[in-house]
Each structure stands twice: as C-alpha cells, then as structure tokens.
Structure 1
Amino acid sequence: MGNSSSIQAADASGFTQSRSLSRSFFGAAALALVIILPGCATYSSGFAKVEQAAAVRDLDGAVKTLDELKLTGADEALHHLNKGTLLRLQGNYAESNKHFDIAKELADKLNAISVSEQLASVSVNDTMKAYEGLPSEQLMLYSFKALNYLQMSDVDAAAVEARQFDIKQSQIAKQNADAKYLSGAFVRYLNAMVYEAAGERDSARIELQKALDGYKKQNSGFPVPASLTADLARIKAGKPAPSEVVFILQNGLGPSLHEATVRIANPNPQNGSSLLSLAVPKLAKRSVPVARIELSAGSAVASAEVVEDVNDIAEKSLNDRLPGITARAVARMVVKNAAVGETKKRSNELGAFGLLANIAMDVGSAVSERADTRTWSLLPGVINMARLPLPAGKHDITATYYSESGAVLATRVFKDIEIKPGRKAFVSDYYLNPPAQAKAPQ
C-alpha cells in the first residue's frame, strides 16, 4: 500500500510538472505569435489591383476592390483618402468630399498620438500607429476638396476650404520649420482662383504672392507656372479675370514605399535574439506617363504646365523623416532583444519545450520588424494645369496627351463645358500607365 501511494504521488508530481512546462511553453509560444502577427499582410499590400483597375478606367471595379481590402482601425484615414480620390475621378464630387471630410477629421484627432500607440510603435513596429497622413498629404487634401466644390460650382464652399487650408498650412509650417516643400504653393495658386471667383481680389493677390514665394522656396525642379505670374501681374494692374477653362490632370501615380530590411547575427544570442532586424521604408518613384498636354476648343489652343510634383515632395518628406524612423527602429531592436533575452533565461529551464520557445521567439522578433510603407497611394506623380481663355458659352474641350517620344497616348473630349462671363470652368481628368506598361520599382 505504501509503495502504491508513493508511485501515485510521483505520477501526480510528474503530471503537474509536465503541465507547468506545457503552460510555460505555450505562454512563450503565444508571446512569439503576438509578435509575429503584425507582420501579416496589410491594407497597402493588396493595393496593386486597385491601381490596375483605375489604370484601365474601371473605376467601379477599383472602388469595389478597395472596399474588399483588409482594413484595420489603423488604416481608416488612409482608406477614406483613397476612396475619396477614386470617387473624385469618377466625377462623384459630393461623395468624394464626404470621404475626404472623414479623413480630415481622423487626421485632426490623430495629431496627438496616444501613449499606447507610441509604445506599440516602439515595441512592435510603426504600422501599429493609426495613419494620419503625412503633412504634405494633409495639405494636398484641401486642393482636392476645393476642386470638388469648384466642379460642383460651389465657390463659397471652396472659399471655406481655402481659409481652412491657410490655418492648417501655418500650423504645419511651424511644426516643420525647415521643410520648405510644405509651402503648399499649388494649393495657394488654386485658392487664389477661388478667392477671385468669390470677389475677394485682395485675398487672391495675397495668395498668388504666397504661391509665387512658395514655388521658389520649394525648388522642385520645374519653373514657376507662367500663368501664375501672369495672374499676379493682372490683378496688381486691376484687370478683370477672363472667361476660361482651367484643366487639371492627375498625371501618373506618386511613389510607392517598400521595405528595406537589414538583419545581422547577434554576437550574444544567448542574451537576446539570434538575429537583429531593422526595417525602414524605401521610396520607389513611378514613371510619369504624360509628357505634354494640349488643350483645345476650336482654333484656341493652350499647353499645360506642371503645378505640383508629388514625387519630389514625397522624396523630400521621406528624407526628412528617415532619421526619426531609423531611431525608432533601433529603439525597437533594443527593446525586443532585451525582451527575448529575458524570455530565453526563463525558457532554458524547460528543456525541449524551452528550445522550441527560443526558436519561436527568435523568429517572431525578426518577422515582427516591419517598416511603415503606407502612403496615399492614389496621389498623382505630377499635377498639370492648362488654362484656355474662351468666350462665354458652351464649348467642347479636347485634351490630347503625348508621351515623351511624342506619341499620342489618349485624346479626351469634354462636351458642353459652360463658361460664364468672367468666370472659370474647371475640368479634371487623370491618366495612368496601363498595367502592361507599368514598370516595377527597382
């Protein structure tokens, strides 16, 4: 009887120890899984199909594909920016502005990032932070909203956007004193037209001067638009605005961001991860398909100018942000390495279970390091503007797009565009590289 009791006690003790080991192993494995999960597919990773549909002008398909993408709370503002853009390209200006408004409200709320999100950014990766839009994107949002209102002939609402932009740009300029590319020159140029249409000629003159100064400061590699300097001279001379068509082309797509990862062997793997990982975003510019634009109505002809180079602004923005991004990545690497080291000390007591847990932690630590490659993907690479003075009345407007070699890429006709005396009629279009011609980023 005594021997039997001893055996039963030993069995119970062994069972308890085994169960304890299992719990410890599964706890370590669960921790590794939590670290690995953020490395799964993201909202941005499925965006190619949206772009492909938009490139062949299947905007209904692009919207449907966008809505089917995996969406988390962290990507909500980004989703509304992209959906607002697609709806704008469809000509659904009112619905477009509803989504832009949601994106703007979210960005305003997210400007003060919560402590929990900051901690997640340091301990896991930057994709854990809710996307609020880069400062340059937040400024560009105002131009699209104003253009939507102008194409709905709501000058008063466009003027409200112009005033709100001025406040926002001043805030961003104070927060980014050295970032001259955040002058919002194009938006101010557009806002000057809005103010003049609203009868606020002095405000228009001020905006034109600020736009001129902004273009010079930006140093974007293209000349100050000649139409801007002509407008400024005309307003200073007290001359009225002509009746004209203002044509805006969203030309190509802005750059995409890709992950650049460095992994090195830890010289002290027993005290942390076997592999130390650091990931940062890398910018890949995409070709701008339309090299020249000709706008015509009857015998009247005008050529387009570059009024915004989104590619250039995005590159300067990333260069400014990289030191901070890299510092956070290094801090994450230190935090994760220390956490893995502590876990390894405990799991070494678990034998085979501990070895498996260590492997899981090493893999989880490496895989969880992700760069934040989110961006407002449907922004154009370049924005072109053509202005064609015409007599008041209805006109058929033809826009012809040429490649770098001079080949005609497309001809678009906009029927019955009505121009009122002394007013501007705004017309917009977009052109993307067809999927077969799209070049993969190097």
Structure 2
Amino acid sequence: MALLSGCASQSLFVSYPSQAAKWKSELAHTPAQPVLPAADAQTGESSNASPAGLAPANTLAPSPSVSPVISKLEGATAGADGVLYLQELGRVSQLQGRREASRNAFASAVAAYDAEDASARIQASSLAATGTALLTNDNARPYIAPDYERIFTRAYQALNYWAANDATGAAVEFRAAALEQQVAANKREKEIAKAEEEAEENKIDLNQFDGYFDGLNAVAGEVKSSFQNAWTFYLSALFWEAHGEYNDALVDYKKALEIHPDSTMLKEDVQRVSAAMDRKRGDEGGLVAVIYDQDFVQPRAEFSLPIPTVHGFFSVAFPTYSLQDKPRPNSLRVLDTGSQPLGETQVLADVGALAAKDLKERLPGMLVRQTLRATAKYNLQKEANDNYGALGAFATQIYNLVSEQADRRSWLTLPAYAQATRFSLPQGEHTLILSTPQGDATLTVPVVNRGLTVIHAVAVPGRLITRVLPVQEGPL
C-alpha cells in the first residue's frame, strides 16, 4: 500500500477522464490573445493570409504563459503513462497556438512509439507491471498508444509543419501516417491471437462474457476497423494534389473512398485527380478545404463485471462505451458573404467508434487479466483473514474496493468526429462564414490558382477555434 500510494495522483486510483477534464476545460476557457499573421508562402514574412474578422476569443493564437493545469500535464509526461500525456500535451498546445510546444510533444510521443515497437523493451516493461497489476488494476500497466491514436499524432504533427509552411516536414508525417495504417492490421491480428491462446492456456471461456458488452459492440459496430482513418487519408490526398503528386493523391482518395464508399465528395475527388493525371484539368481556380474537428471524443465508461473463479464470482471494474454517451455528429457549413452555401462538412472519422473498436479488439487480453486478478485478490483476502483475522480481512476488502478501477485511459482531447469539405473558388481573397452549433466565424482566405487553402476549425464546448494554413502549391 505504501508503494502504491505514490501513484494515487495518476490513473492507478484516480480515473483518467477526471484528470483530462481539467485540460479540456482549459481549452474552453483559454484567454483571448492577439492573432499572429501567417507566414508568406514564398518569403516567410507576414501576409494577409491570417484569419480576419473573428472575435479574439475564438481564434487560435499563441499563449504567453503556461497555466498550472498545463504545467501539471507537462510534468505527467515523465511517468509510465508518459506517451498518453504527451499526446494530450501536443493537442492542447496546438489548439492554444503554442506551435513549438506541440511539435516537441508530438515528436516525443513518436519517440515513445519507437520504444514501444522494440519488443524486448515492451516485454520487460509489461512483466515489471504484471505483479502490481494483478493486485490493483490495469492502470498499473504502462500505457501503450493504440494505432488510431498514433495515426492522429502523425496527422496533427503534419498540420504543425503545414502551419509553419514546412511542406517537407508535412510530407514526412503524412507518409508516416500511411505507414502506420499499413502495418496496423497484421499487428492487431497477432495481438488478438496471442490473447486467445492465453485464455485457452488458463482455461478461460471468453464467450461467457458476450452479453455484458452489447453497448460496446453497438458503438464499435459503426466502423469496420479500429485504425483505418479516412480523414487522415483525405488530408494527405489534398496535400499531394496541391503539390502535383497526383498518383499519391489518387491512392489516398481511393483509400478514403473504400472506407466511405457512398461519399459523393470522395467520388468527385477521385474523378478530379484522375482527370488531372490525364492532363484534362483546366485552371478553374483553387481548392479550399475545411478540416473540422467536432467536440471531444467520449471517455470510457465503467461497469461491474462478475468474473467466475474457483471460489465463486468476484466483481471487477471493466471499461466500456455506450451509445447513450456518444455525441451526435454536427456538420460545419461554409457560406459566402451573400449567405450562399459553398460546402458542408461530412464525417470522415468517427473517433469514438474507432476507440470502441480498439477496446473490443483488446477484450480477450483484458478478460484474461481480469480473471487472473479476481483470483489473486480473492486469495489475498482469504490469506489475510486466515493470518490476521477479521481486521486483516477488513483491510484487504477496503483495499480491493479502492483499487478496483477500470482502465479508462485514452486520448481524450481528440475530436468526437473528424470532418471535411472542399470547394473551388476563383483566385483572389474571399470572405467566408463558418457556421456551427458552437457559433459562427468570418474568415478572409487567400485562394491561388491550382493551389490549396486549408481552414482548420475546431469546436470545443463554448468555442470555435479557427486558423488558416499557408497555401500549398507547386512541386515539393
């Protein structure tokens, strides 16, 4: 108990969603700051490409100082769950306009992924945590970022480089995101097979728990894969198209279309790039794309799962997702100053469903650990009763009650839905209106013939955060 008390401030005994609520609230109440102009695409000097006409509280802008909440978040990155806090820090810093802090946090998260991928280190760290986890909860195990989180890290890091007008850096991150998606399928299949083998070795029937996860299955059933992310494919496809890399753009548009085969927008994108490859595309103006992050992804819930042991049933806390807690998708509409509609975003990544699918795929391994944990805790309680009487039994009962916390860790500043739309406009400056349930914003954006202008809009409770990224055009 004395050994474990030092961890009580983190996820071991304090639920992760309650921790994350602090920095999510920070984003909703970030003080207003003056907007810095974007760098000119050619000279790097200030230009008129930055947002205009917004209320200061609704703009993404640098924060001159770090709050106590963010300082605490930064301090948590040194612990066993460091990669999770690094992801949160990268996202929060990005939305606060602290670009360098965001780049550094995401770069450190990627370094942590590389360490995770070194199998010897993963095995050693997992074995070191097993003894503690058997007597506490899964929060004692070091956090391993799931594939969908790793892919979003790469995509948001690409946006960081894009905002700094570093097309080469953005290209590297987009390619890394694509590679993450390529290797994820085979890796996950091996993990599930290994967990099922462990269940068989420990004579644990996983099918007996099926009825307890109807809500999780309903949320997870909205996606086919826990890692395929059409939003990332779409963003990278836009980038490649703007730089004339039509083959790469077509590949990524088609991958996005495979995930959303009924999308008229994606079908048109495939046709447009195919025409460009055949040199049939004219100079019809420039593309404007709106990348829209809606709200925050839902946290894991907790429920009590009865685990059968040789001594009878033992109740353990288990994570899940439910449809009742899932936010509804709300689109962003783009209008011109005459209130004529130009575009409306569509969902390309249901992040809550990705998270639920990931949890569902992890169930076999988690159920094995929970069954072993239930037996270990029962034995601990029986031994205390035998050796120390009623007082020992009472102490272990209290400990078991306090330590029984579901593993609710996940990246919670990710959006509930990642959306996008695009349309063409003639070359020149255009004033656009972004309309969402969180409020409206008016932006003046530059459009370059056969170039790409991207608006990144993020809706958090009570705020609409926006920024216009530097125009992408010409060869890389």
Query: Whose Rg is larger?
Result: 1
- The CA deviation string for residues 234-254 of structure 1, in whole angstroms up to 9 with x for no partner, is 121224485122111211111
**Pair 1:195 & 2:240 matched:** yes
- Structure 1 residue 385 corresponds to structure 2 residue 420: yes
Distance 1:214 1:51, change over 3 A: same
Shift of 1:158: 1.3
For the pair 1:339 / 2:380, whether they are aligned, the reply is: yes
TM-score with structure 2 length normalisation?
0.71
Measured in 1, the distance between the counterparts of 2:89 and 2:30 equals: 15
Higher deviation after alignment, 79-88 or 275-284: 275-284
Between the aligned partners of 2:113 and 2:413, the Cα distance in structure 1 is: 18
Task: Indicate how the Cα distance of structure 1 residues 365 and 34 shifts in structure 2: closer, same or farther if over 3 A, else same.
Answer: farther
Mapped to 1, the partners of 2:343 and 2:3 lie a distance apart of 63
Offset at residue 58 of structure 1 (A): 4.6
Q: 1:345 to 1:184 in 2, by over 3 A?
A: same
Which residue type is aligned with residue 229 of structure 2?
Answer: G
Cα separation, 2, equivalents of 1:45 and 1:303: 34
Q: Which residue does 1:327 correspond to in 2?
A: 368
Cα distance in 2, alignment partners of residues 121 and 195 from structure 1: 46
Greater Cα shift, 371-380 or 287-296: 287-296
The residue number in structure 2 matching 1:428 is: 456
Aligned equivalent of 2:347, options 289, 293, 306: 306
Give % identity: 25
Q: Structure 2 matches for 1:155-194, cutoff 5 A?
A: 155-177=167-189, 180-194=225-239
**Cα 1:295/1:54, change in 2 over 3 Å:** farther
Q: Which consecutive unaligned segments of at least 5 residues does structure 1 have?
A: 1-28, 217-222, 270-274, 348-353, 403-408, 436-442
Please report how far the alpha carbon of residue 119 of structure 1 lies from its aligned counterpart in structure 2 after TM superposition: 4.0
TM superposition score normalised by structure 1: 0.76
Match of 1:131 among 115, 136, 143: 143
Pair 1:123–1:295, CA change in 2 (3 A): farther
Alignment of 1:405-420 (within 5 A): 409-415=438-444, 417-420=445-448
- Distance of 1:170 and 1:32 partners within structure 2: 39
Equivalent residue for 1:80, pick from 74, 80, 86? 86
Measured after TM superposition, the shift of residue 345 of structure 1 is 3.3
Say whether the 8 Å CA contact 2:23–2:92 is kept in structure 1: no
Select the residue among 314, 319, 322 that pairs with 1:281: 319
SS at match of 1:311: helix
Q: After superposition, what is the alpha-carbon deviation per residue over 1:297-351, rounded to whole angstroms, capped at 9, x for unaligned?
A: 666722222222112222222222233322211111112222333344333xxxx
Are residues 35 and 346 of structure 1, via their aligned partners in 2, closer, same or farther at CA, if it must alter by over 3 Å? farther
Shift of 1:36: 8.8
Taking a change above 3 Å as real, the CA distance of residues 139 and 44 of structure 1, as seen in their structure-2 partners, is same
Trace 1:290-305 onto structure 2 (pairs within 5 A): 290-296=330-336, 301-305=342-346
1:257–1:192: structure 2 CA closer, same or farther, 3 Å change rule? same
Shift, 1:57, TM fit: 5.0
Q: CA deviation at 1:204?
A: 1.4
Tell me if 1:376 matches 2:411: yes
How many angstroms apart in 2 are the aligned matches of 1:246 and 1:422?
Answer: 13
AA partner of residue 176 (structure 1): R
Alignment match, 1:351: none
**Number of aligned positions between the proteins:** 382
User: Residues 198 and 392 of structure 1: is their aligned pair in 2 closer, same or farther, counting only changes over 3 Å?
Assistant: same
RMSD: 3.3
Residue of structure 2 equivalent to 1:3: none
Instruction: Give, in whole Å, the separation in 2 of the partners of 1:263 and 1:381.
Output: 31
Query: Is residue 137–residue 406 contact of structure 2 (8 Å, CA) maintained in 1?
Result: yes
DSSP-derived class of the 2:300 partner: strand
Equivalent residue, structure 1, for 2:301:
258
Q: Distance in 2 between matches of 1:33 and 1:263?
A: 27
Partner of 2:433: 398
Judging changes above 3 Å, is the alpha-carbon distance between structure 1 residues 420 and 431 closer, same or farther for their aligned structure 2 residues? same
CA apart distance, 1:116: 0.9
Please tell me the residue identity of whatever aligns with 2:333. Answer: I
CA, structure 1 residues 136+63, in 2 after alignment: closer, same or farther (shift >3 Å)? Answer: farther
Residue 41 (structure 2) aligns with: none
Is 2:48 the partner of 1:48? no
1:406 paired residue number: none
- The answer to whether the 8 A contact 2:287-2:451 is kept is yes
Q: CA 1:418–1:64 in 2, change beyond 3 Å: closer, same or farther?
A: farther
Match of 2:358 in 1: 317
Instruction: Choose which of 63, 72, 95 in structure 2 pairs with 1:68.
Output: 72
Letter of the 1:283 partner, please give it. Y
Moved more, 423-432 or 114-123: 114-123
Q: Is the 8 A contact 1:249 1:383 kept in 2?
A: yes
SS at match of 1:49: helix
Whether the 8 Å contact between 1:296 and 1:397 is mirrored in structure 2 is yes
User: 1:379 Cα deviation (Å)?
Assistant: 0.8
